[in-house]
Chains A and B, each alone.
Chain A
Amino acid sequence: MQERFDVIVVGAGPAGNAAAYTLASAGMSVLQIERGETPGSKNVQGAILYADALERIIPTFRDDAPLERYLIEQRFWMLTDDAYIGSNYRSAAFNRPPYNRYTIVRAQFDRWFSGKVQQAGGLVICETTVRELIFDGERVVGVHTDREGGAIYADLVILADGVNSTLARKAGFHAELQPKDVALAVKETLFLAPEVIEQRFGLQGEEGVAIEMTGAITHGMVGTGFLYTNRDTLTIGIGCLLSNFVQQKIPPYELLERMKAHPAIQPLLAGAELKEYVAHLIPEGGYNAVPRLYGHGWMIAGDSAGLVNSVHREGSNLAMTSGRLAAETAIALREADRPFTAENLSRYRRRLDDSFVMKDLKKYRRLPATLHENPQFFTTYPGMMNAAMHEFITVDGTDKKSKEKAIRRSLGERRGWFGLVGDAFKLWRAFE
């Protein structure tokens, strides 16, 4: 094997694949190193793919990418222990190609994406764990792997090694993750015959639905649950802040099992057969937790850089976009015959700042702290909304005016009028 490359990319997830593909397509020599047996075999996501970010990298991806179902409907549920109130949005507009969002199975999708990297001329080696970066002074000049004689050199290393980013921590590029800045999600993939999925969720052909959930399922913790339809599987998962798990002491698998037993969810899963159980950390610290993104001879992208928009449940699109922008930064510098110094690579940060990635993270910069300090958004409010709806639609001989009064009184009792106004202000501040 050639021992020197223009660029080494660590990791074959969305960020790493986007970077490696973009670099290889521009004719740069790229080595991509993946620790899994195949690209994708270590990677976990819900998973929803937003077409736009991938389209900007591989415009024809729909021709051969392994996509499960395109989403025509989004449901938001707020649950109590035995009820939910929610909204559904389904539109025929989502039923016209080119489709906007898809469910995917990451093990298959990442493998496909990696195939594209190889077709573009990138060299991909699997079953190889990068143990640490090699420095020459302050400059990153290569990586040590767990293969024999495992030192490999490059002008630039792009870290796309995922949320735990052992490499960045060892190198001191960023500190250890804080339990309040990261969510732990657990998920199951369950087999269910396609025709049953279609009947149960009101779907035809390759249509799909996504359900996002909040409320009692998280037992007071800051978090959300989800249920997605794949072609012949369902994925159901729940994620909460790690700092909350530490306090609550509910084992994550128990939380998931309780959620699956909820009277609104259990019928949707009836007869489905467990195929896999996974767990994953999601960086949710947002804008204020984003570490340094570049230095002499290195850039960092995707989850390893904490680039996740937890409000909108977006991560892989930020990963792909950051991977692409890192690659484009490197390509532009190479074309201008300029070295990969920290100063020159600072253009990566500027490109990110100019993109939706940092703009969206910045918009919600106050939200992580707001939610962390105000658990009532996950406890009191779902209960209030459900109780109000229950009162509103139950016909029991009470006149409507008395019912409205009862609802208003209940809202005031549960949170207090000052609390309600204060909460509205806090949310407005966090979302403005």
Chain B
Amino acid sequence: MTQVNVEEKLFQNRYRVDAGRPHISIRDLDVCRSQCTTQQCTSCCPAGCYTAEGNGAVTLITDGCLECGTCRVICTEFHNVDWEYPRGGFGVLFKFG
């Protein structure tokens, strides 16, 4: 089976991005790079917001976030995800939900 492109799915959604104010952030990038061996956020995030870079680092881009909470709940070892809801009115805006 070919790789699924989640961006094509997210493209159908409506978002109001709070530019420059991401509601989720990685607390310590170095923890992901040098301590976390599993990096489960890179496979579990249903919006593919977390990317495993070739050099061991994890990058996070929250623009396509579906606000489910998965990344926070699964970061059980290092609690390295700072997770808030977006400011009122921002983020994903479901047409169907």
Task: Pick the most buried of A40, A145, A275, A279: most chain B CB atoms within 10 A of its CB.
Answer: A279
Q: Nearest Cβ in chain B — how far from A303, in angstroms?
A: 11
The reply to whether the CB of B54 lies closer than 8 angstroms to some CB of chain A is no
Contact of A177 among B16, B73, B88, B93 (CB under 8 A): B73
The reply to whether the CB of A336 lies closer than 8 angstroms to some CB of chain B is no
The answer on a CB contact under 8 Å between A257 and B4 is yes
Contacts of A250 in B (CB 8 A): 43
Q: Nearest Cβ in chain A — how far from B18, in angstroms?
A: 11
Report B64-97 CB contacts with A as 1/0, cut-off 8 Å.
0011111011101000000111111101111111
Report B1-13 CB contacts with A as 1/0, cut-off 8 Å.
1011010011011
Within 8 A of B (CB), among A185-199: 186, 188-189
**What is the CA–CA distance of A323 and B65 in the complex, to the nearest angstrom?**
28
The answer on a CB contact under 8 Å between B66 and A107 is no
The answer on a CB contact under 8 Å between B96 and A276 is yes
Contact of A179 among B73, B84, B95 (CB under 8 A): B73
Residue of A nearest to B23 (CB): A129
The answer on a CB contact under 8 Å between B12 and A276 is yes
Q: Nearest Cβ in chain B — how far from A315, in angstroms?
A: 14
Which of B28-36, B44-52, B55-63 sits within the interface? Answer: B44-52
**What is the CA–CA distance of A145 and B87 in the complex, to the nearest angstrom?**
9
Contacts of B1 in A (CB 8 A): 254, 257-258, 261
The answer on a CB contact under 8 Å between A129 and B87 is yes
Size of B's binding interface in residues, CB under 8 A: 40
The answer on a CB contact under 8 Å between B44 and A275 is no
Q: Nearest Cβ in chain A — how far from B10, in angstroms?
A: 6
**What is the CA–CA distance of A279 and B66 in the complex, to the nearest angstrom?**
6
**What is the CA–CA distance of A334 and B13 in the complex, to the nearest angstrom?**
44
Contacts of A275 in B (CB 8 A): 12, 95-96
Given contacts A42-B67, A242-B73, contact A279 B46 (CB under 8 A): yes
Q: Nearest Cβ in chain A — how far from B90, in angstroms?
A: 8
Q: Nearest Cβ in chain B — how far from A394, in angstroms?
A: 28
Contact of B94 among A44, A249, A257 (CB under 8 A): A44
Contacts of B40 in A (CB 8 A): 245-246, 249
**What is the CA–CA distance of A252 and B40 in the complex, to the nearest angstrom?**
12
Within 8 A of B (CB), among A223-273: 233, 235, 242, 245-246, 249-254, 257-258, 261
Contacts of A107 in B (CB 8 A): 94-97
The answer on a CB contact under 8 Å between B4 and A251 is yes
Residue of B nearest to A245 (CB): B44
Contact of B12 among A127, A258, A277 (CB under 8 A): A277
The answer on a CB contact under 8 Å between B93 and A43 is no
The answer on a CB contact under 8 Å between A253 and B46 is yes
**What is the CA–CA distance of A89 and B72 in the complex, to the nearest angstrom?**
40
Contacts of A182 in B (CB 8 A): 73
The answer on a CB contact under 8 Å between A166 and B85 is yes
The reply to whether the CB of A37 lies closer than 8 angstroms to some CB of chain B is yes
Given contacts A45-B97, A127-B88, A179-B76, contact A184 B43 (CB under 8 A): no
Contacts of A249 in B (CB 8 A): 40, 43-44
The reply to whether the CB of A278 lies closer than 8 angstroms to some CB of chain B is yes
The answer on a CB contact under 8 Å between A184 and B88 is no
**What is the CA–CA distance of A107 and B92 in the complex, to the nearest angstrom?**
12
Q: Nearest Cβ in chain A — how far from B72, in angstroms?
A: 8
The answer on a CB contact under 8 Å between A146 and B68 is no
The answer on a CB contact under 8 Å between B69 and A163 is yes
Q: Nearest Cβ in chain B — how far from A423, in angstroms?
A: 29
Contacts of A55 in B (CB 8 A): none
The answer on a CB contact under 8 Å between A254 and B4 is yes
The answer on a CB contact under 8 Å between A281 and B97 is no
The answer on a CB contact under 8 Å between B97 and A279 is no
Contact of B16 among A37, A164, A184, A254 (CB under 8 A): A37
Given contacts A163-B69, A261-B1, contact A36 B93 (CB under 8 A): yes
Task: Please name 9 pairs of A and B residues whose Cβ atoms are closer than 8 Å in the assembled complex, sorted by A.
Answer: A40-B97, A42-B91, A127-B89, A179-B74, A246-B40, A246-B44, A251-B46, A254-B1, A278-B97
